[in-house]
């Protein structure tokens, strides 16, 4: 693992300066060198196996692993032999807005609180992708009056 630490700026990732979110699919075939960034990152491992390195240690990566990293936290990946990640990036401006709003902060839960950033957790992935709206949804969307939205 390369010990060089690169810090990604928001300008390097957010092509539009007005953007507050960005997302990308990343396929890692070699070790990803240690790096940090000015923004928060939420990554979902969708395929492959590997290891995730942070200041908290080394954690195994398997499909369904969810990684949440705050601004300035460093991390690196080791692919064994390949990883497929879906990354969502959140600007510090968006984090500040969410943190400043009690209603939004409560809805977001612990993900925006610094003591919870940098965690890796397991989540369940569907066995096959759902084709919305063709697949039946277990939770039929409902209007405010309780009537199924499918009847509109």
Q: What is the CATH number of the domain that holds 89?
A: 2.60.120.10
Number of separate domains in the chain: 1
Residue 30 lies in a domain: yes
Nearest-angstrom CA–CA distance, 152 and 145 = 12
Nearest-angstrom CA–CA distance, 92 and 72 = 10
> In this predicted structure, what is the pLDDT of residue 15?
86
Q: Where is average pLDDT lowest: 5-9, 11-15, 90-94, 127-131?
A: 127-131
pLDDT tens sequence across 100-144: 776 665 555 444 333 334 444 444 555 555 555 554 444 444 444
Q: Which residues are CB-contacts of 9 (< 8 A; sequence separation ≥ 6)?
A: 37, 38
Residue 141 lies in a domain: no
Q: Which residues are CB-contacts of 133 (< 8 A; sequence separation ≥ 6)?
A: none
Per the structure block, which two tokens stand in for 118? 């940098």
> In this predicted structure, what is the pLDDT of residue 3?
55
Could you list the residue range(s) of the whole structural domain that residue 108 is in? 6-123
Residue 40 lies in a domain: yes
What's the full length of the chain, in residues?
152
Residue 23 lies in a domain: yes
């Amino acid at each position: 693992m390369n010990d060089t630490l690169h810090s990604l700026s928001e300008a390097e990732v957010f092509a539009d300066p007005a953007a507050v979110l960005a997302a990308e699919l990343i396929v890692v075939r070699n070790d990803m060198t240690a790096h940090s960034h000015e923004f928060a990152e939420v990554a979902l491992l969708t395929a492959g196996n590997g290891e995730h390195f942070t200041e908290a240690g080394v954690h195994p990566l398997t499909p369904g692993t969810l990684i949440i990293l705050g601004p300035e936290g460093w991390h690196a990946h080791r692919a064994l032999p390949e990883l497929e990640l879906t990354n969502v990036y959140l600007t510090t401006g968006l984090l500040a807005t969410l943190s400043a709003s009690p209603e939004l902060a409560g809805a977001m839960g612990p993900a925006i609180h610094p003591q919870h950033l940098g965690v890796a957790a397991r989540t369940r992935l569907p066995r096959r992708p759902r084709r919305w709206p063709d697949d039946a949804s277990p939770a039929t969307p409902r209007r405010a009056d309780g009537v199924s939205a499918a009847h509109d």
